[in-house]
Structure 1
Amino acid sequence: MSLDAPPVQYLNLDPQLYVRDDVFQQERRDIFARSWQFMGPARAVAEAGQYLAIDIAGTPVFAIRGRDGALRGFKNVCRHRGAKLLADGVGSCGLIVCPYHKWSFADTGRLVQAPWYGKDPAIIPEDWPLEAVQIDEWRGLLFASLDPSQSLLEQLGALPDELADEPMENYTATDTATVSFDANWKIYTDNFVEGYHIPGTHPSFYAAIEFEAFETTAHDGYVKMTAPPKPGLFYRGKWLWMWPNWTLSLFDGGMNVSRINPTSTHHTDQQYHFFFADTSAEAAETRAKSVDGTLAVVKEDYTICAETHRNYAAGAYTSGPLSGYHEKGVQYFQTRVSQALGRG
Structure 2
Amino acid sequence: MLNLDPRLYVDPAVFLQERNSIFARSWQLLGPVSQVAERGEYVSADIAGIKIFAIRGRDGELRAFRNVCRHRGAQLLEEGTGRCATVRCPYHQWVFADDGRLINAPWFGEDKDFNMADWPLEPIHVATWRGLLFVAIDPQEDLVSQIGDLVTELGDEPIETYTALKTDRVIFDANWKIYTDNFVEGYHIPGTHPSFFAAIDFEQFKTTAHRGFVRMTAPPRDGLFYRGKWLWMWPNWTLSLFDGGMNTSRINPISTDRTEQIYHFYFADTSDAARPAQEKTIAGNLAVVREDYEVCVSTHRNYASGSYSAGPLSPRHEQGVHYFQQRVKESLGA
Decide which of 264, 281, 291 is 2:272's aligned counterpart: 281
Query: Which aligned pairs between 1:198-217 and structure 2 lie closer than 5 A?
Result: 198-217=189-208
Give the superposition deviation at 1:71.
0.6
- Matched with 1:291 is 282
- Matched with 1:257 is 248
- Matched with 1:327 is 318
Q: Which aligned runs of 4 or more in structure 1 are off by greater than 6 angstroms?
A: none
TM-score (norm 1): 0.96
Q: In the alignment, is residue 64 of structure 1 matched against residue 55 of structure 2?
A: yes
Q: In the alignment, is residue 223 of structure 1 matched against residue 203 of structure 2?
A: no
* Amino acid across the alignment from 1:139: R
- Matched with 1:189 is 180
Give the superposition deviation at 1:122.
6.2
Bigger shift: residues 286-295 or 184-193: 286-295
Instruction: Give, in whole Å, the separation in 2 of the partners of 1:120 and 1:298.
Output: 55
- Matched with 2:227 is 236
* Amino acid across the alignment from 1:141: L
Which runs of 5 or more structure 2 residues have no equivalent in the other structure?
none
Decide which of 20, 23, 35 is 1:32's aligned counterpart: 23
CA contact (8 A) 1:114 1:123 kept: no
Paired residue total: 334
- Matched with 1:5 is none
Give the superposition deviation at 1:121.
5.0
Instruction: Give, in whole Å, the separation in 2 of the partners of 1:292 and 1:98.
Output: 38
- Matched with 1:87 is 78
Instruction: Give, in whole Å, the separation in 2 of the partners of 1:276 and 1:326.
Output: 30
Instruction: Give, in whole Å, the separation in 2 of the partners of 1:173 and 1:59.
Output: 25
Instruction: Give, in whole Å, the separation in 1 of the partners of 2:262 and 2:203.
Output: 30
**RMSD of aligned C-alpha atoms?**
0.8
Decide which of 154, 174, 179 is 2:145's aligned counterpart: 154
SS at match of 2:328: helix
CA contact (8 A) 1:216 1:225 kept: yes
Instruction: Give, in whole Å, the separation in 2 of the partners of 1:273 and 1:321.
Output: 34
Decide which of 27, 44, 50 is 2:35's aligned counterpart: 44
Give the superposition deviation at 1:196.
0.3
TM-score (norm 2): 0.99
Decide which of 14, 20, 25 is 2:11's aligned counterpart: 20
SS at match of 2:219: coil
- Matched with 1:112 is 103
Instruction: Give, in whole Å, the separation in 2 of the partners of 1:96 and 1:121.
Output: 25
